[in-house]
Amino acid sequence: MIHVGLQHFLVVAALLFCLGLTCVLVRRNAVAILIGIELILNAAGLNLIAFARFGGDLLSGTVFVVFLIVLAAAEAVVGLALIIAVHRRLRDIDLERSDELRG
Amino acid sequence: MLETNLLWLIPGLPLLGAVLSGLLGKPLQRRFGKKAISAVSVLLPWASFGVAAWCFIQLPEGGSLHDRLWTWIAIGPLEVDLAFAMDPLSAMMALAVSLVGSLIHVYSIGYMADDEGYWRYFSFLNLFMFSMLLLVLGDNLLLMFVGWEGVGLCSYLLIGFWYRDLVNARAGMKAFVVNRIGDFGFLVGLLLLFWSLGGEWMDGAYRVNGGAFSLNFRDLPDLVAAAADKQLWGVPVLTLAGIFLFIGACGKSAQIPLYVWLPDAMAGPTPVSALIHAATMVTAGVYMVARMNFLYVHSPTAMTVVALVGAVTALFAATIGVFQYDIKKVLAYSTVSQLGYMFIGVGVGAFWAGSYHLLTHAFFKACLFLCAGSVIMAMHHEQDMRKMGGLGKTMPITRWTYWYACVAISGFPIASGFFSKDEILFQAYNAGSLMVPGWIIWLLGFVAAGLTAFYMWRSYFMTFTGPAVSVGGHEPQEQRPVITVVLGALAVGAFAMSFIGIPALWLDSPPQLEHFLAPVFSAAEGLERVFAPGAGHGVEWGLMGASIGIALLGLAFAWWLYRGRKSELPARLMAAMPRAHKLVYNKYYVDEIYDTTAVRGFLGLSRLSGWFDSKVIDGLVNLCGAAARGFAWIDGAIDRYAVDGAVNGLAWLVTRAGGKLRRVQTGRLTTYLAGLVAGVLIFVILTRFLLDVYA
Amino acid sequence: MRVPLSSIDSLAYAVPELVVCGGAIGLFLLAAAARRPRSWHGWLFPLVSGGAILASLGWLVWFGLESASRPLFSADGQGLVIFSGLVACDPLAVAFRALCLLAAGAGVLLSVGSPSLPKTQRAEYHGLLLVLCAGMCLLASASHLLMIYVALETVSLCSYLLVGWDRSRSRSTEAGLKYVLYGGVASGVMLFGMSLIYGLFGSLDLQGLHQAIAGSDALATAPGRWAALLGFAFVLAGLGYKVAAVPFHMWCPDAYEGAPTPFTALLSVGPKAAGFAVLMRFFWGIFLDGPGVGAATLDADIPWPLLLGVISALTMTLGNLVAIVQDNLKRLLAYSSIAHAGYVLMGVVAGGQDGFESVALYMTVYLFMNIGAFAVVSAVDRSAGSEDIRQYSGLGSRSPWLALLLAIFLFSLTGLPPTAGFIGKLYLFAALIARGGTWYLVLALVGIVNSVISLFYYARVLKAMYLEQPALTEPVKAANAAGVLAFLMAVPTLVFGLFWQPLGVLASWSSRLLH
Amino acid sequence: MEFQTTSWLLTCLIFAPMAAMVLIGLLAALGPLLKLPRPAVDHGSRVLALLGAAVTLVLTAIVWLGFDSSMPRLAEMQGYPHLQFVQHAVWIQAFNIEYFVGVDGLSITMVMLTALISFIAVLASLPWGIPKDDHKHFSRRGVPGYMALIMLLESAMLGVFCSMDFFLFYVFWELMLLPMYFLIGIWGGPRREYAAIKFFLYTLAGSVLMLLAMIGLYYASDETRLIDGSYAAHTFDMVKLAVENDFSSMALVSPKLVWLGLFIAFAIKIPMFPFHTWLPDAHVEAPTPISVILAGILLKMGTYGILRVNYTILPDETIWARYGIAVFGVINIVYAAFVCMAQRDLKKLIAYSSVSHMGFVLLGMAALTDPGINGAVYQMWNHGIISPALFLIAGVIYDRAHHRRIDGFGGLARTVPEYTGLVGLAFMASLGLPGLNGFISEALCFIGAFSVFTVLTIVAASGVIITAAYYLWTMQRMFLGPLNEQYKDLTDVNWRERLTLYPLMALMIVLGFYPMPILDLMKDSLHELVAPLARAAGM
């Protein structure tokens, strides 16, 4: 069986991060972007936990991740709330269409 | 040197008159009529003449009077007092100016009798007296300059006295501006003199070798002597100073090339022409050169320039005078020519002779002008001699005074003009210190003398002889006594002046005036002459005879051509040589030449710089803006913000930039996020790059 | 010598946070109690939140005086260690928390009777405001990556909600949505960067990081360098987003314009101040080796001041240029606040005692003048119902006093004496010039040019107010909370312009930590 | 260092107008509350402004009488003009800024000028004699604001001339900007907005340069003690900067750069040749009294600043740059004179003539000689007397004819003889007619400069011709020749205009023949100012 080391975790995290970033950049659907953000956050979380596990002090990394999860959830809530508010108005969550504010 | 506290009154009284009639004149005239004005403005000059005479009596033998009012300018080394000084030269000038001036004031009462600008006229005239006397009596160069410019101003005011006719206004402006050119020369000369007076700068203060710096005429001779070997641009600085000062004199005394203003100046009232443009102001240049004799004797070059310019002017102006028909123009050119004689005198080092001619000329030329004025009045302001004639019968006094003045100017031994002019011509011949042989100067002057005699007698015959003309149905009448008396007085003066200048040749003592002025011109004694003093009598007799002869010749010609105005010869002669006549008649087109070259060029330059300022300089600020504006125009987007909000092109540029940049803010989140990510990446790459740079 | 305290004891130093949180809880309870809107809500809730804020401000003042008189902070100025080093307790923290709370107080005052806030759910609004306060306070004093993240998220979350608060205006919700998504990405990126840093140096505590970096060999290898670079770049992005520095500013104009004016005023100052506090802590805390140089070990490699300087120059230039072409005064002020962030960054770049002094001082001054300007804007907004610049034409004759106040604030923002804004600029430029290097002088010149450019659009408003004939003639009422606030802000703007001795003293005291 | 006199006099002098401004503000604020009619408020503010200006004038007179021009300078103030009526206190400890005011021979002349011209400007702002129906006239629009701003302006100007602390100087300098902007922008002519903002931007651009230079000097200055004895690492004290510091080897920036920064900042105000284009616009648009102040006082600040700051604090650089100053001075003289010839608008012509005449100041001061610098400062004073008179004159005709096109008139001398006389006198004074004050300063500038810049001075002297030409031409086009029937019932100057014009005219004549009162005031101080430079320049 292969031994899973730090690099593996980092690579996965990096991939997650890039995926999230791409999603954020290419999708126009607000919810999709929210998902992309979650991906980015989780990539960071994966990094943290991995570093915590392989060297560094275990505690702070883990604790950080706990906070991260909570805040990610909170952010998702707020995000969704606002998305709903917009949706009520536009019947749509395509961000291309909400560009009243510009210039 | 004798301290007194009277001298300031000599210019002061006319100034008082000027102020009174200037500020209160209008109401006074309305309330009490012109008598009141005359009372103030005519009596005060006489009073100042009285004071001048009194001071003249007080004048110590060979010494001077001095009257210091207060310190005018005192900066570091520069100590200039507001002070007056009277030495023989300025005494002579002051007396002449105040006497002739007062006489002409009297004449003006009659001449200006029916002009509503009476008070203004007399206030200006008094102001002129003040400036002229300031010029004459000023103790130092700067103060002299004040008077110098003051008379210029008054001549401007008086030439343009009838300002409603634009021609007069133009003439006035021409006079002032041309004079200003001269003044520029005078100013530079002043600066050169100041600079040359053998000092240097220490601790930012100008320390003169030997005490505080001074510009007054008592200390200047020694300072100038000390600076004799100083050079600037490889030229002796005294020469430069002398020449620049002489440019000033050319402006004021209407010498080539700056004489052009004087004929036009005849636009002013005739008494003004008599006083300012014949008797006094125009001689200021001569006076200045005589006053600065101690400077000129150090520089043969400068003296040569003065003498040559004078001689050439004398001849040149005389030729023009020959073909003029306007009686005042004739007199104007003869003035220019006579001034040329004076410059010959001072130029060849015969300063006293120059001054003497100045004095005699003051009388007979004033007389001529006033006669002309009386004629013009009689002819109802007709000045063309071709429309005159036969006035002699009805205007005897005018006629005979004019006749005598002609005798004087054309140099017959029974009048003062002869003595002064002849002395000048002899001294010119006698001059050994110039860079050209003296006889050349003499020759020019000699020919000019003949022409002078001719055109003066021509004017006499054309005006007073021949068939009588009638103006408005009746014959021209002789003027009122207030005028004729003045004419007589001036004629007498022209005669009386003879006695102070009778040459040593006739009675064994030197002329009184020469003796009187000697202390002022002591510097000139060093100049070398062709003949030792007392020698060369034969030549002198010869020259004297020659000049009488040529005067007679001129008279004869005039007689032949113009007596009784019967002869057809003049017309035929002109027909014979139309070109030459046209050329001379049009004064060699000098005015036209100046106009097309100098004046046009000047205005063009000013227009150019005006354009440059509004377009280029301001444009530099607008430059980037112009680009931006063009750009905005191209893509058809007129940016209204720049129009109202901002200023200039810089603003345009900035605003355009803002307009472009704002488009980045698309309002689309995707763009924003792209910006964020791009920012991070650029940042990383930049940093990476810097790392390589640093490492 | 650093004195660690137990978390319980530490609470004694976190009074403001406790108070505002308590106030928030109280308000939420009230909200639960008071379902239907009543007239007295209009003044009760602001009273509560304002009270809480005032209380915590009072405590901060007391604490500041105490610490100034008694050696509360140890001699080497490192400060106490509370909450096991999560938050710092030092003059900087005190000063910037006070700033944030002042801004919040102004926000509360502005919200009284503001039409741009819905009548319903006032309690929640003020509750969230207080939570925001807590977040800002923590952010201002956070000295630990975790704390930075948590505080930053708290601030952000509340801001998202409050920006999108007015659901009756589509702009408001749109702004909220954009803000939350942008903020989410930014904080995510920052978090990823933090994780990298954590991995490289094995510590989350700034102090620890300082030593770790000094002793670490992680940078020896190329991947290590890349990782470190990315990490710090990502963190910078997060912090830059908080202070709205180019190119992380794009959320800012939309959010400011969309948000209810009372909250815009707060948003333009409070979080920014906290952001600058943490920015200074992060960079000069980790890479501190005397002013003007880079990190302990990175300094040989990464010229932080230069990079920050570039960002600063970009920020002020872009802010000013785009502000020129704005017609909506709120948006104009948004861009101007971006520009001012750029100015303040000059102080951060200069670093060192006087650098941080200038930042602290400028933020204080900026608080007065910017909130003052927003107060006038909202006063006009109240009667005109719009922030368009046309509403301001002839204001000088319609309501001279408001116009005068706005003129004062605008002159101050331009940086002309005798207003406080000039003093702020003076300190910033002085700090830069004192460094003396070419880079710093160039940056100073850019700043100078920018303050001239900024005149363009400030003068546009002046022109509209004074030089243009009034388009509409009805006077604008200044006798309301907004007018009062504007007046309150104008007083210090002028007084400190003429005599800023106390301000200078405070600033130099507050920046003692980073000697 | 200790100073002879310590008094509150200057402080009162500087802030008297500001007090008037506050009172006017109160009046304007309370007026509506007390139900005062608007005319009452207007008249009240006019009276208050007049009082403010008058009180300032009186205080100035007291300073003048108390000023001891022959007082020996202090030993430790090597090469620095002696100060009197000093008030010296610490203002901002945190930045070593002091409140430090005092006057020397240079300042006091400018202070006197400021007080005088401001008073005349206030007089000229009265609507007295303006037709009743002319409500658009600037003297009837927003009177309280106008008067308050003028008062503020006067305070700022006095402050600039009195302050000896660089920072204080800068604050006052900037303070002038705001009232000027509004006075031009609100009460000005048709293109007022453009002119106002142009003025604003130019001046601000200059002053930010000054700010940088000032901070640079501050950090380059040596440690010293404030007046209260407390230690200061650096100082803004201009006397100390000049006396105790040597900036020739500045670490931070090249001192030449600092010098240039300061010089450009001041040159914009003068205005010097490439930076002068704001002036015509500002003048043409500004209402008459503001033009009066602008030309009479504000322009002098530029040259004053150069003398006060560049000359005393950076002497070596000044010596390095003096040829440049002279060249630009001559360009100003001749070039601007030519531009004058091309002008059609009377006010523009006068504005450019101001540019031309300020050139004499530059030329004179560049020479670093006693006559030169005295001529320069006396020229500042004289121009401060003459150009206000000229602008008042332009205002008189504009109030009547509502245009200023020189060609639009003709033969006016017939209908308005008194006015014509006044114009003539002012023109003559301005073209430097000997016997009037302008001549003396110009002559001194020439005399002082000739020994140093011979050729340049000769070129400059040719300016007298051009000046005469454009003034007389203007005279001829407006007043001489046939009367333009359109103006056959033009009214001559009224009493308000007499009140403003005659004092200036009298000064022109009196100071032409008796200039020593002014010259005595300043010549010692100026010698102290210029002597060290001349010594260092090896003259």
Coarse DSSP helix, strand, coil percentages of chain C, rounded to the nearest 5 percent: 75, 0, 20
**Prior bond of B14 cis (ω within 30°):** no
Cα separation, B527 vs D169, whole angstroms: 64
Higher pLDDT: D57 or D221? It is D57
CA of B671, closest CA in chain A: separation in Å? 8
Residue of C nearest to D234 (CA): C434
At which residue do the structure tokens 């028909």 appear? B325
Q: Are A79 and C184 in contact (CB < 8 Å)?
A: yes
* pLDDT for B499: 85
Calculate the CA C202 to chain-centre distance.
Answer: 31
* pLDDT for D77: 47
* Residues in a beta bridge with D345: D405
Cα separation, D483 vs D371, whole angstroms: 45
**Chains with ≥3 Cβ pairs under 8 A against B?**
A, C, D
* pLDDT for A66: 93
Residue range D406-433: mean pLDDT, rounded: 90
- How high is the mean pLDDT of chain D? 87
Residue of D nearest to B176 (CA): D468
Q: What is the pLDDT of residues C394-438, one digit of tens each?
A: 888 888 888 999 999 999 999 888 899 999 999 999 888 888 777
Q: Are B651 and C456 in contact (CB < 8 Å)?
A: yes
| Helices within B563-646 (DSSP H only) | 569-576, 578-585, 590-594, 600-611, 618-634, 640-644
Name every chain A residue with its beta carbon within 8 A of the beta carbon of C157: 71, 74-75, 78
Q: How many CB pairs under 8 A join A and C?
A: 134
Q: Say if strands B2-3 and B65-75 run parallel, antiparallel, or are unpaired.
A: parallel
CA of D28, closest CA in chain C: separation in Å? 10
Q: What residues contact residue B11 under an 8 Å CB cut-off, 6+ apart?
A: B48, B84, B129, B130, B131, B133, B134, B137
Greatest Cα-to-Cα distance within chain A, rounded to the nearest angstrom? 58
CA of A4, closest CA in chain B: separation in Å? 30
Cα separation, B332 vs D354, whole angstroms: 39
Task: Choose which CATH entry (2.160.10.10, 3.40.50.970, 1.20.5.510, 1.10.287.3510) describes domain A6-90.
Answer: 1.10.287.3510
Q: Are D94 and C508 in contact (CB < 8 Å)?
A: yes
Higher pLDDT: C478 or B298? It is B298
Say whether residue D201 is in contact with chain C using an 8 A CB cutoff.
yes
Torsional sign, CA A57, A62, A65, A67: negative
Residue B232, helix vs strand vs coil: strand
Say whether residue A12 is in contact with chain B using an 8 A CB cutoff.
no
Partner residue opposite B661 with nearest CB, options C310, C322, C459: C322
Name every chain C residue with its beta carbon within 8 A of the beta carbon of D216: 433
- Exposed e or buried b per residue across B249-260, where buried means at least 16 C-beta atoms within 10 angstroms of its C-beta: bbbbbbbbebbb
Q: What angle do CA D28, D33, D36 make, to 5 degrees?
A: 65
Max mean pLDDT among A16-25, C275-284, D228-237 falls in: A16-25
Residue C66 — very low, low, confident or very high, per pLDDT cuts 50/70/90? Answer: confident
Say whether residue B665 is in contact with chain A using an 8 A CB cutoff.
yes
Cα separation, B551 vs B452, whole angstroms: 8
* Burial of residue C183, with CB atoms counted within 10 A of its CB: 0-12 exposed, 13-18 middle, 19 or more buried: buried
pLDDT at C134 over 90: yes
Residue A25 corresponds to which tokens in the numbers above? 């950049």
pLDDT at D82 over 70: yes
CA of A77, closest CA in chain B: separation in Å? 19
Cα separation, C483 vs C477, whole angstroms: 8
What is the domain partition of chain A in residue ranges?
Answer: 6-90
* Burial of residue B430, with CB atoms counted within 10 A of its CB: 0-12 exposed, 13-18 middle, 19 or more buried: buried
One-letter amino acid at C37 equals P
Give me the phi and psi of B216, to 5 degrees please: -85, 160
Does chain C touch chain B (at least 3 C-beta pairs within 8 Å)? yes
* pLDDT for C202: 84
Cα separation, D534 vs D539, whole angstroms: 5
- How high is the mean pLDDT of chain C? 86
Q: What residues contact residue C453 under an 8 Å CB cut-off, 6+ apart?
A: B654, C317, C320, C321, C324
Closest by CA position to C135, among listed C68, C171, C87: C87
* pLDDT for C270: 93
D24, HSE (Cβ side, Cα atoms, 13 Å):
28
Partner residue opposite D197 with nearest CB, options C397, C426, C459: C459
Q: What is the pLDDT of residues D394-410, one digit of tens each?
A: 999 988 888 888 888 88
* pLDDT for D72: 54
Q: Are D476 and B610 in contact (CB < 8 Å)?
A: no
Q: What is the pLDDT of residues C106-121, one digit of tens each?
A: 999 999 888 888 888 8
* Burial of residue C119, with CB atoms counted within 10 A of its CB: 0-12 exposed, 13-18 middle, 19 or more buried: exposed
Q: Are D204 and C452 in contact (CB < 8 Å)?
A: yes
One-letter amino acid at B134 equals L
* pLDDT for D79: 43
CA of D152, closest CA in chain B: separation in Å? 26
* pLDDT for D76: 46
Per DSSP, the residues of B394-426 read: H-HHHHHHHHHHHHHHHT-TTSHHHHHHHHHHH
CA of B599, closest CA in chain C: separation in Å? 45
Residue range D99-116: mean pLDDT, rounded: 92
Partner residue opposite B673 with nearest CB, options A24, A101, A103: A24
Partner residue opposite D514 with nearest CB, options B70, B169, B201: B70
Cα separation, C393 vs C380, whole angstroms: 12
Name every chain D residue with its beta carbon within 8 A of the beta carbon of C436: 219, 251-253
Cα separation, B609 vs D42, whole angstroms: 45
Q: What percent of chain C has pLDDT over 90?
A: 44
Residue C495 corresponds to which tokens in the numbers above? 């007084």
Partner residue opposite C195 with nearest CB, options A44, A67, A78: A44
Extract long-range pairs of B685-692: CB within 8 Å, 24+ residues apart.
B686/C307, B686/C310, B687/C229, B687/C233, B687/C302, B687/C307, B688/C226, B688/C229, B690/C302, B690/C303, B690/C306, B690/C307, B691/C225, B691/C229, B691/C301, B691/C302
* pLDDT for C73: 60
Cα separation, C350 vs C361, whole angstroms: 14
Q: What percent of chain D has pLDDT over 70?
A: 96
Name every chain B residue with its beta carbon within 8 A of the beta carbon of C323: 658
Residue D92, helix vs strand vs coil: strand
* pLDDT for B691: 67
Q: Are B665 and C250 in contact (CB < 8 Å)?
A: yes
CA distances from D418 to D406, D413, D479, D491, D492 (A): 19, 8, 11, 10, 7
Residue of D nearest to C502 (CA): D94
Torsional sign, CA C137, C138, C144, C145: negative
Name every chain A residue with its beta carbon within 8 A of the beta carbon of C199: 10, 47, 50-51, 56
Residue range C278-300: mean pLDDT, rounded: 60
* pLDDT for B692: 66
Say whether residue C144 is in contact with chain B using an 8 A CB cutoff.
no
Contact D182, D322 (CB under 8 A): no
Interface of B with C in 668-687 (CB under 8 A): 669, 671-673, 675-680, 682-684, 686-687
Residue C126 — very low, low, confident or very high, per pLDDT cuts 50/70/90? Answer: very high
H or E segment to which residue B29 belongs: helix B25-32
DSSP category for residue B231: E
pLDDT at C84 over 70: yes
Q: What is the pLDDT of residues D353-404, one digit of tens each?
A: 999 999 999 999 998 888 889 999 999 999 999 999 999 999 999 888 888 8
One-letter amino acid at D172 equals F
* pLDDT for B631: 44
* pLDDT for D78: 47
Say whether residue B603 is in contact with chain C using an 8 A CB cutoff.
no
* pLDDT for B389: 77
* pLDDT for B632: 38
Q: Name the least confident of B193-197, B420-424, D141-145, D221-225.
A: B193-197
Say whether residue C256 is in contact with chain B using an 8 A CB cutoff.
no
Contact C466, D182 (CB under 8 A): yes
Say whether residue A52 is in contact with chain B using an 8 A CB cutoff.
no
Q: Are C455 and D201 in contact (CB < 8 Å)?
A: yes
**Chains with ≥3 Cβ pairs under 8 A against A?**
B, C
pLDDT at C163 over 90: yes
* pLDDT for C296: 38
Q: What is the pLDDT of residues C17-51, one digit of tens each?
A: 999 999 999 999 988 887 777 778 778 899 999 99
Q: Are B184 and D527 in contact (CB < 8 Å)?
A: no
* Burial of residue C118, with CB atoms counted within 10 A of its CB: 0-12 exposed, 13-18 middle, 19 or more buried: middle
Ranges in chain B, pLDDT < 50: 203-204, 210, 624-625, 628-629, 631-647
Residue of B nearest to A33 (CA): B670
Partner residue opposite D251 with nearest CB, options C436, C504, C508: C436
Higher pLDDT: B167 or D109? It is D109
CA of D214, closest CA in chain B: separation in Å? 26
Closest by CA position to B22, among listed B9, B35, B2, B40: B40
Say whether residue C442 is in contact with chain D using an 8 A CB cutoff.
no
Cα separation, C138 vs C154, whole angstroms: 9
Cα separation, C188 vs A76, whole angstroms: 12
* pLDDT for B629: 47
* pLDDT for C33: 84
Residue of B nearest to C176 (CA): B669
Give the ipTM of the model, two decimals please. Answer: 0.81
At which residue do the structure tokens 């923290």 appear? C93
Angle between helix B284-291 and helix B351-378 axes, rounded to 10 deg: 170
pLDDT at C289 over 60: no
Name every chain B residue with its beta carbon within 8 A of the beta carbon of A96: 668, 670
Residue range C321-346: mean pLDDT, rounded: 92
What is the domain partition of chain C in residue ranges?
Answer: 303-515
Residue B675 corresponds to which tokens in the numbers above? 């910006």
Q: What residues contact residue B666 under an 8 Å CB cut-off, 6+ apart?
A: A99, A102
Q: What percent of chain D has pLDDT over 90?
A: 40
Residue D466 corresponds to which tokens in the numbers above? 């051009």
Per DSSP, the residues of C374-400 read: HHHHHHHHHHHS--BGGGGTTHHHHSH
Give me the phi and psi of B503, to 5 degrees please: -65, 160
* pLDDT for B78: 78
